[in-house]
Copies of this chain bind each other. A is one copy, B any other.
Amino acid sequence: MRDLKSSETYSLAVLSAVCLAILVNAWKSNGEPLFSSLALSGLAFVFCYTLVLWTGDVFMKRGYKGRDMSKKNPTEIPETMGLVCALVYLLAIIIFLPFAFKRDIVEVTSGAGNKDRVLEAQDLEHGRFLHRFPLEKLASYGFAYATIASETILGILDDSFDMRWRHKFFIPAFAALPMLGLYFVDFGVTHVVVPLPFRPYFGELIDMGGFYYIYMAAICIFCPNSINMLAGINGIEVAQSIVIAFLIVLNDVLYLSPEGHPAAESHLFSIYLLLPLIGVSAALLMHNWFPAKVFVGDTYCYFAGIVFAVVGILGHFSKTLLLLFIPQIFNFIYSIPQLFHLVPCPRHRLPKFNARTGLLEPSVATFAEEKPLHPMVGEVMKMLHKLKLMRIKVDSAERVTESSNFTILNLWLVWRGPLREDRLAIEILIMQTSVGLLGLWIRHSLALLLFTVDNR
């Protein structure tokens, strides 16, 4: 790779100095978790930005490299750099730990390991500031770290050993086990509130029992995989994760009113896990944005996805979380015909690079004459074509011979015509942000209708 340019060195040094100053001050005034979290995220950005540059060669030497096929002269660039992100992130959330709990430690343990906190913790409850969270959150914190670290290990394995799609898909469920174990032991709440229209039939609460754990495992499987699936152009994996993270933080902030909210601690927990994610992701994005100097690897998608799953589940807002994954959910559902081989699926489905124009066009799947599509599938595809939900070609006998691949990126190119790679990424991100904001707005207004009260 390369060394830092002097302008980079200067900006990074200034940012580090500011963040360090904030940290030192925060420590003097009893922790100040919110400020320390911001400052640590800034430092994580600096660290990650530099490390990605410095370690690129090492990764390439060990075979973690690939060619960017959407460029005129593809050269080999490092792959799996999301691993650097994940490591810096894990480091950051551990260093944050003493800041998060400092006030509690000092006040509750009266200095040096005096463990009579059971009673005092009760008294503290009333005096707690807006941005504090209590020692009871410590176990959640440990298990969150454990889950993210496990997912990172599995990401490395996935990037190191070629795994089949059907094996990979379920990997995140294993990594989720620490969190499910914690949930079982520490919360054990498997009730869900029933929306108003269904209450006459089911009552106000349903105990989903074991199904709730399956639901949580499904979230852990879905988040990483869906990010991994909405991929294929420079920067899109990282940028969509940053958008999701910002939207969750926005939702979290709604719960931090000065008068206190019962769910405030869960949402603080979420903020403290997401700020460093934004920090390391932004650093990676600067190297991964068009034209990419590094690839992020499945490791990044797994890592970012599981952070979202962790905050959604341990913060008890997994349904809201899903609202922020609408583009990914659409992309997944839209992909199903190819994923399950109802329609032939080429090895790669990323948009096709047209070297003459320098623009991306929808990539296509062609259907050989000797193995034609089932007529019914063909009819459905013709209908989707009319609805502008894909583009097909038919031969003289009205048989479908070709269709655009079933991903949201190709669909967008069908709608918008050929686009340059970064333009496509930006448009998708704007769409994602708008859909997410709409989702949050609906969630908080519709909640009043369905549950009589918005639990914000």
Contacts and interface: CB of A to CB of B under 8 A. Distances in A.
Interface of A: 58-59, 61-63, 87, 90-91, 94-95, 97-98, 101, 104-105, 109, 112-113, 118, 121-122, 135, 138-139, 141-143, 145-146, 149-150, 152-153, 156, 160-161, 174, 177-178, 181-182, 184-191, 207
Nearest to A138: B139
Contacts of A191: 112-113
Contact of A184 (B62, B98, B146, B152): B98
Given A95-B177, A97-B181, A149-B150, A189 B112 contact: yes
Contact of A122 (B118, B142, B149, B160): B118
B207 A112 contact: yes
A59 B61 CA distance: 18
- Nearest first, the 7 A-B pairs at minimum CB distance are A142-B142, A113-B189, A97-B181, A149-B149, A139-B139, A142-B143, A145-B146
Nearest to A182: B142
A128 B262 CA distance: 32
A285 B146 CA distance: 27
Given A118-B121, A121-B118, A152-B153, A186 B146 contact: no
A141 to B, nearest CB: 8
Contacts of A109: 188
A438 B17 CA distance: 53
A242 to B, nearest CB: 23
A391 B269 CA distance: 61
A122 to B, nearest CB: 7
A318 to B, nearest CB: 16
